[in-house]
Amino acid sequence: MPSVTKAQIEQARTVDLLAYLQTYEPGVLIPKGNGMYRHREHDSLVYFQNYWYWNSRGRAINALDYLTEIRGYGFVDAVNKLIGESRSLPSVSSASTVGSRPISTQKKNTKPFQLPWVRRCATYMLSYLQRRGIHYDVVSRCLQCGILYESQYQGQAVCVFVGRDDTGKERFACVRSIVGNLKKDISGSDKRFSFCYPPDQPQPGIRHLAVFEAPIDALSHATLQKLNGWKWNGYRLSLGGTSAVALISFLERHPEITRIALYLDNDRAGLTNAHKIKALLQSDSRFSKIKISINPPRQGKDYNEKLLDTIQKNHEKSLVCRQEKAALSM
């Protein structure tokens, strides 16, 4: 069983929650003036005088509480995530701070968004995506749309997944290591414009939206459609985790959407947040008429595991068929 030390737990607890949200979930922050913020998805969660206070629970919370109690992360996963992400966050003015420091300090340290450089030869990326079972046509579509490329980040070969706004401008990017475990959003990314795989048949008025935690799951779903011959045409949006920021922003820009399928992971965090997102949308008068389904994968934890399982079963079935044909011909 994976574990963390007391020192790591303490380090995670001292991560600046406001800086974390401004860097990785900027869309959830609603400014109320005088240095006060309210959380878009949990209106009882407020930031004031350097503290995050959860009114409905009657207590202050820190970054570790936020990930475990609000985002549904397991304790060990939350600690490891905060320790990893803290390297990209501005330093905390006081290690004992539960919430965060004033906004003026944060603004000075925020880095402007800039995409990693593009590696001309994408051999490593193509090989990696092939191992993950992603169909070449799906990869080719991403390359044509300029939402996927290979780069090098912190000394590692990475896939870069890009999110664009309605004008086509790059607003978001996340990297996924090809050989290691590195996963992170590029500093300055706007979570409202997360990675989105476009409809197979672009046309006005497309009303279907599929929602995933990670870009690789969106591409896996597109591959499964090719393998299984599904007749479905819509957008595939990655949340970049389990926050609803990207989804809310997408729906605000696409009021024509009438159906949403939540394909979040089949684990505690994914299932918990799928139900929270559904309840959040149903409570918002702007989205209350949208039909929402929760569809975790039946095989594996996520849709990439489901894809790999499907490919393996198809291979075994094909092998059996060839053996039967060979036996009949003897």
Identify the CATH number of the domain in which residue 10 sits: 3.90.580
Same domain, yes or no, for 165 and 289?
A: yes
Nearest to 217 by CA among 233, 234, 194, 240: 240
Specify burial of residue 285 (Cβ count, 10 A radius: 0-12, 13-18, 19+): exposed
**Beta-strand relationship, 148-153 and 156-164:** antiparallel
Same domain, yes or no, for 64 and 154?
A: no
Neighbours of 144 (CB within 10 A): 10
- Domain of residue 270 covers 123-313
Instruction: Note the pLDDT of residue 85.
Output: 67
Same domain, yes or no, for 78 and 169?
A: no
Instruction: Note the pLDDT of residue 213.
Output: 94
d(CA 208, CA 215): 18
CATH number at residue 229: 3.40.1360.10
Contact indicator for 300, 308 with CB cutoff of 8 Å: yes
| pTM beyond cutoff 0.85 | no
d(CA 308, CA 58): 45
Instruction: Note the pLDDT of residue 288.
Output: 86
Contact indicator for 74, 271 with CB cutoff of 8 Å: no
Token pair recorded at residue 1 = 């069983």
Instruction: Note the pLDDT of residue 133.
Output: 97
SS3 101: coil
Contacts of 92 (CB under 8 A, 6+ apart): 14, 15, 16, 19, 100, 101
Instruction: Note the pLDDT of residue 31.
Output: 87
Same domain, yes or no, for 128 and 264?
A: yes
Dihedral over Cα of 145, 192, 9, 75: its sign: negative
DSSP 247-297: HHHHHHH-TT--EEEE---SSHHHHHHHHHHHHHHHTSTTTTTSEEEE---
SS3 155: coil
Domain total of the chain: 2
Neighbours of 324 (CB within 10 A): 10
Q: Is residue 318 part of a domain?
A: no
Question: How far apart, in Å, are the Cα atoms of 9 and each of 23, 188, 224?
Answer: 21, 26, 39
Same domain, yes or no, for 160 and 43?
A: no
Same domain, yes or no, for 269 and 163?
A: yes
d(CA 64, CA 16): 10
d(CA 9, CA 19): 18
Token pair recorded at residue 136 = 């070449």
Nearest to 218 by CA among 309, 141, 313, 124: 141
pLDDT in tens, the chain (330 residues): 467 888 888 888 888 888 888 887 878 888 887 778 888 887 778 887 677 878 777 778 888 888 888 887 778 888 888 887 666 565 443 333 333 333 333 444 456 889 999 998 899 999 999 999 999 999 999 999 999 999 998 888 999 999 999 999 999 999 999 998 888 888 888 888 999 999 988 787 789 999 999 999 999 999 999 999 888 899 999 998 888 889 989 999 999 999 999 999 998 888 988 998 998 888 888 898 999 999 999 888 999 999 999 999 988 887 877 777 777 776
